[in-house]
Structure 1
């Protein structure tokens, strides 16, 4: 009898997770496409006609978000992934439905107006809210709150990066933080739906570059880059925490919003690669450094991008933008990998492949930032058409980056900073 009851609940959990996966796949796909096309349109139009507008554009976007938050969403704040942890740790606490339009709209506005973050964390919280809503509708028939929340997150991340396995691992590693039979059922069901969605509607990788090969002799360089990626993640984490604390101490809303936004605008005006999520900037940099006309003076620009991308992201979040350090970690880590490989090639006479090191740098930095090396491995390998040729180097970089970052800034130290700032400090994977 007990087996039949369990089978009934597992079947129902699987079925509901399939439905959540479909809803969240549509939600993530719409936000991804809408943001991508609008961001490119605005950036290209302004750069061609009036580049000076890049200076004020983030102020416009974050000001709109401020008024939406104040009047439409009744001053109810978004706190990123910490909201998910809180609702999972406290059964009676739920993610209210306004989180879906709030994160969807604010994430979209942040990025299209140049705010130097991404829509990943906005998507994660919005899709988690879908799962939480399904749990609430189930009432006492469902004992699987964490499972349904994770199902939504798995589908959302899977569609964002075109990798159902990356979405599945993110939900397990970062959100659930443990493996159980019911977690496996819900996340697998949602990831299956998301995988079918990606296959039929969105099978184009983020970066249009192909991996050729890698050499075993490059392993020491991948290890060193992994450690550097861990350091970059620690730098980004501390920067986000400190900037958020600084801006929280500014009580004048006009000054807080515009100070950070104008500083971001000045950086974007000087380095347009920093605009929005900067995926377009990464493509442009890769195109530039792989051409025969590449000038070594461009190295200074890449170095500035490594340093300033986390700064721009921190200021965007501090000023009130919606997002997190997910995209900045990928982009800054890629710039770091490119810079490292070029320096080795010219100073040591090596022949390191720039694309390979860009991907390993991204994986190392992301793994260190979100404490999830397996998620980073499959996510980064899905960024290019044949990225799994780099499985071993990316795996190595991910674990080295995560271990190095944990040695410098243990996760419990980070959690202490969160509680000390009364939940106003952004989570390592994002805030708003």
Structure 2
């Protein structure tokens, strides 16, 4: 339990989110109603939520997985999700769950979960607007209150009729609302001197200024879009994070004038740290993020080198035929990840394998630790002769394997 006046902890926030999780509406949803449910629960435009799902789709399809999870886990208004829908969603989750094995997909899942967590932590106290009730009809409202003829008072050659107010079946005289007679030289009408009592009740408090959801959410959506494009097009991380940090800065500047956007600081601080860390890396040696599998149809389709900054490289050369008397050279370099090469049974291979930190298995020559390397030559099953393959493989942090199939 969190103390009064303090923000709840992570466990309390997650528990409160599950207890008051959004409810998918029976009407107004475009597909499964997930975006409409989140928008109604936290008082934001569902269009912004749909934009967020589209943005996270750039991260290895994580947006699709997050939407399917929301469709499956969020309850439906007025009824329960049908069994056929649950089975269909469970089957769709199986292929979509493979995004967690890819770095962009994992980043997208983390960003999506973090965005939902921050949304509930900052705006979880928002209550969905209740439907407006119909005003009571005249038949059910009872007798209509209004002035009726009341008792009369005589005086100074005139007779005045005092109005009364009917409330239900009880009649009450309302002298404080009466008008004095048009001619009263002696001021004998006592009610003409009656003045209203001063109102000592405090004035109604001014309505509180609504929180500026749009500044934070729009800036967050544009930031995620910028990061998604940078990841999808394999831009250097320093450029990607600097662009996202710039968008956050513009959002916080706009929030300073619109009295909003304070929640952006939570995302701006770690992104600034990442930008500084990536700035220490040379941008001219960035080769992208992701896994790469190579299956060339012939030796002409084999490139001189395969490189990745983060990810795994697999070279499947076991179906290739190397021309007699010809030497083919290729290699691989990965900053953080693994390299594996699968060779045909008969080609002569001269391989050099190295890793700054990790394991090396170079045709049976195994090394492990920091700054390890190994070199090997293998003639294949048919002995020396035929084509020859020269390999030069390196991993910064990871494993290097050359295997004979």
TM over 0.5: no
Instruction: From the two aligned structures, give the one with the greater strand fraction.
Output: 2
Instruction: From the two aligned structures, give the one with the greater helix fraction.
Output: 1
Structure with greater contact order relative to length (CA < 8 Å, sep ≥ 6): 1
TM-score category by the smaller chain?
under 0.3
Max Rg structure: 2
TM-score (norm 1): 0.25
